[in-house]
Amino acid sequence: MTDQLERLFADLRSETMPRIVPPGVEAARGTVRRRRHRRTAVVTAGLAVLVAAGLGFGVPAHLTTSAPTPATLTNAERDALAAQAAERVGLTPDETLLGHSFGQAFHVTHQLVTGDYLVKMVCVGAQGHADVRVAGSVTTLTCSATPAVISVPLTVGEPDLVGRTDVLVDVRPNAVATGRTAVAYLIEMGSGSQDRLRTAATDAIGAAGTAGEVSTMSDFITSSGGSGLTDATMGPGNYRLIAACVGAGYLTIAVGREEPGNPGFITEPVKTLGMSCSDGPLGTATPETIDFTMPKGTKATIVDTSTNLEARGQAGVAVRVVRR
């Protein structure tokens, strides 16, 4: 391309340069000039475009040609990138609602319990970038095969409430990244806010040291969705269970004998309790109770808690068992 431009520039100079010629020579050259006229007109138009664009003479070769557009990936290839991106931020999609990973533009609205969070995000792919807007704040992710995870703090709601707030996450890859990358993010509640929910649940079931108390537990519900306790001192007899859940979602408690030869598993529940987690002002959670009787031959009693997806990462639970 450079050699061609140089030849065409020489043609232009030969056409316009002042010169002295003998009589009759100009007419003889007319034919030659007409043959060159079309080619010269094309080059002149090209030069006008370059000058109008502010490029002028001596344009680098890479500015005169367009780079080839990378091919978009197949659905299977995008899914593979999405899985890689999810792994990098610690996201397990079937265990939490607080994160997503896709190989295209998307937006999701989360209902988050009041608290402090950390939003971990990443873009996996060969090139390009993606803008991730979380609650109105935009972070630009550079896409690469081995990207660093970016963490952005997020505060939701009022400190004295456990209310829930809609938070929009909007992901927009640029043209180069579209169809060739995957973005993943995970929203994790900070430890201070986790303790706040767990403490609120513990306060709701009453002070420790209650008469006849046998066992107690309190926990923050992680992405695993459950916790519990095994108490070998809870043999045959009559008991009362007091429970509270603060945050989002739904809690299920099952009480039963530990399965012989299979530690940590209930043979068959003798009693179950289902309850919604309180998302009102702090200090207003109402505990629920169930009475149950452990049969003869009970060697150990298990109290198992499980939650729905909505509660994972956004609820604290507390349980107390007393004799009656």
E strands within 143-190? 150-156, 164-173, 181-189
User: Bridge partners of 215?
Assistant: 321
Q: Is residue 240 part of a domain?
A: yes
Report the CATH number at residue 182.
2.60.120
Same domain, 159 and 251: no
The order of strands in the sheet holding 301-307 is: 226-231, 301-307, 250-258, 266-276
Cα radius of gyration (the chain): 35
User: 41, 63, 85: which is the final residue of a domain?
Assistant: 63
Quickly state the pLDDT bin for 72 (edges 50, 70, 90).
confident
* Token digits of residue 41: 């007109």
Same domain, 50 and 105: no
Q: Is residue 68 part of a domain?
A: no
Overall size of the chain counted in residues? 324
Which residue, 52, 66, 64, is CA-closest to 1? 64
pLDDT of residue 13: 40
Report the CATH number at residue 239.
2.60.120.680
User: 129, 159, 189: which is the final residue of a domain?
Assistant: 189
Same domain, 145 and 201: no
Tens digit of pLDDT for each residue in 188-220? Answer: 999 999 999 999 999 999 876 667 899 999 999
Same domain, 255 and 150: no
Same domain, 143 and 170: yes
Give the range with max mean pLDDT: 56-60, 115-119, 203-207, 306-310: 115-119
Same domain, 51 and 98: no
Q: Which domain holds residue 11?
A: 2-63
Same domain, 42 and 87: no
Which pTM does this prediction carry? Answer: 0.74
Same domain, 17 and 87: no
Q: Is residue 234 part of a domain?
A: yes
- Which carries the bigger pLDDT value, residue 41 or residue 191? 191
Same domain, 154 and 46: no
> Based on the structure, what is the number of domains in the chain?
3
Same domain, 133 and 251: no
Tens digit of pLDDT for each residue in 106-135? Answer: 999 999 999 999 999 999 998 999 999 999
First-to-last CA distance in the chain?
94
DSSP state letters, 17-57: S-----TTHHHHHHHHHHHHHHHHHHHHHHHHHHHHTT--S
